[in-house]
Every structure is written in structure tokens, then in C-alpha cells.
Homo-oligomer: A and B are copies of this chain.
Amino acid sequence: MQEERRLAVLRAIVEDYVATEEPVGSKSLVERHQLNVSPATIRNDMAALEEEGYLHQPHTSAGRVPTDKGYRLFVDRLSTVRPMSSAERRAISSFLDGAVDLDDVVHRSVRLLSQLTRQVAVVQYPTLSRSTVRHIELVALTPSRLLLVLILSTGRVEQRLVELDTELADDDLAALRSRINLAATGELIADAVAALQALAPRAAEPASEQEAGAVLDPAAAVVETLVEAMSDHRSDERIVVGGTANLARYGDSFDTAVRPLLEALEEQVVLLKLLGEATSGGAVTVRIGTEGPYEELSSTSVVATGYGPGDALASLGIVGPTRMDYPGTMAAVRAVARYVSRILDES
């Protein structure tokens, strides 16, 4: 019995604290919620919750504030993910449906997320490693200069220039094009790399070939560049951030909260780590405060999830203060991830 009420008290404290941004006391709690007990009783419960580590009081004579552990319990057991209203859902889909290409999808997503949650939004580009090759095109700009265009299932397009040591006849080009596409089209990146290297084994040791001054076979040169483009992990790491203006709402605690966060947002590596934890199961992942390796971000939470087929393509999410509206934020993140997944599937 008391146990149940204590959880209700915790939930009420989290909700009030998120709404008012001020430590919440026993009196205001009973006023704002139908708890049907007196403030004194609440005080006892709060003392117990504090004993267990779910609450904390900044000063002896102040109200209570949830700890990270308190938020964790709230997120795991006390909050129900509020479903999006149909109006919100319509807004999401109509906003994302207007996207013309992958870049546009990513940028629109980040904008949408930051507006829905009023937090800083982060969207990772679809990872190369999970996508498949849709098509490879070779274009002869001049007889000895090829443009390679690599089109992936996610809509990503990579292009590279290749200078050949020799000139290449149109017929040979067409033959090479079809051989390459036969080998790679439809394959996962990793498999395509293997298949291409099997096509032109000499490309496996390009350094020694070139050092020896030998003329590089056109096929080998093309394969080498393609493999390089496919293994280019720089592109894997691309991330788009939006809604930093929402940081202005932090108000207090500029140095302790905003500054480290701004620094983290510039560090793609950190962001990728934070998002990376979320790429696993289909659910929305929440990292609260000091959970995880980054002490500087002790007062920020990350709400993220994977998207794409199996939610395994890449991640998106938001970064905000631990004092945030978790149910609403989680719902928004989940909804956007779903729509993005659907759009990527269709295109």
C-alpha cells in the first residue's frame, strides 16, 4: 500500500519538477495532485524515497528533486509513453514526405525532432555498413578520366574521380560497368567489397604496384577507388545537429550544463558513442545523467533510438537536461524514427 503511494509520490515529484523547474515541497504536492493524504504523510514518504536514493534535497530546507536513479525508475516503471496525437502524426508525415533526397530527409528530421521536443536534436546518417549497393555507374568524362558514382540502397550517393594511366574504349567501359554491377549490385557493402576485389585481384596490393611504376589496369584502378569509397568511414561518422537554440531555455547553469553540451555537440565521436548505445533493440533508449562514461554531461540525458530496417541502420535522438519531459520526448523520438524508417524503405 504505502509502496504504491510512494511510487505515485515519486511520479508526481518528477512531473511537477519538470513542469516548474523548482524543487517541489510536500505542501504543493498535495495541492496539485489527488493524493488524499496530508503533507506530513508525504514528507514521510519523501524521506523514505530519499533514503533509497530516488530523491535529493539541494538544501536542508528546500523541496525535493529527483536523482538520476529517480528519473530512471520513472522512465522504466512509472511513465506511459504518451501516444502522439493524430494532428502531430499528420504534421510529422507531411513534413517528412516533402523530402527530395537523403540529405533532405536527414535535415528535415533533425529540424522536426528539435521542434517537437524543444531540445537539441541529433540525427546520424545511415551507416554505410548496413546498406546495400543499388547501382554503380562509370562515366567517361574524357577517355582517361572516369567518374564513379556509387548509389546505395539508403539513397546515399558517393562519387569519385579516377585518372587512368591508359585510355579506355567505350566497349571496354561498358563491359567493365556490367561486370562490376553484376558483382556488386544488391550486395551488402562488405560483400560488395569482397566481390569487387575478387574481380581485380591486382588491386589488393596497389601500393607495391604503384611504387613499381607499373601501369595500373583500368579495372584495378576503378575497383581500388570503389573499395576506398565504400570503406570510407568518414562518411559513416556524419551527424547532423539541430535546435541548439533550445539550449537557451536552460536558463540557469550555463557553465555546468550548456558549455559541456556545446562542446560535446562539436565532438562527433562523443555524439556517435552516445547515439551508438541506442542502435540495438527496437526500443527507445534513455541515458540519464551520469549513466555512461561522460562526467561532463552529468546533467544531461540522451533519448535515442535506431531507425531503418531492423532499426539497425543508424540512430537519431535528442539531448537535453535530465529534467525533461521523458514521456513526450520518447514518444516524439519514436514517432520520427518510425516515419524516417518508412520513408527510407519506400524510396
List chain A positions with a Cβ less than 8 A from chain B: 100-101, 104, 134-135, 137, 139, 141, 147, 149, 151, 157, 159, 232, 234, 242-245, 247-248, 254-255, 258-259, 262-263, 265-266
Contacts and interface: CB of A to CB of B under 8 A. Distances in A.
Closest 3 A/B residue pairs (Cβ): A248-B259, A245-B262, A245-B263
A56 to B, nearest CB: 26
A157 to B, nearest CB: 5
Given A242-B266, A245-B262, A245-B266, 4 more contacts: A135-B141, A247-B262, A248-B255, A248-B262
B266 A258 contact: no
20 contacts: A100-B232, A100-B234, A101-B159, A104-B234, A135-B139, A135-B141, A137-B139, A137-B149, A149-B149, A149-B157, A157-B157, A244-B266, A245-B262, A245-B263, A247-B262, A248-B254, A248-B255, A248-B259, A248-B262, A248-B263
A243 B263 CA distance: 9
A191 to B, nearest CB: 20
Contacts of A259: 245, 248
A31 to B, nearest CB: 31
A247 B265 CA distance: 12
Contacts of A101: 159
A254 B104 CA distance: 32
Contacts of A151: 147, 159
A106 to B, nearest CB: 12
A205 to B, nearest CB: 22
Contacts of A247: 262
Contacts of A243: 266
B265 A244 contact: yes
Contact of A147 (B100, B137, B234, B248): B137
A181 to B, nearest CB: 10
A133 to B, nearest CB: 12
A232 to B, nearest CB: 8
Nearest to A137: B139
A128 to B, nearest CB: 14
A206 to B, nearest CB: 17
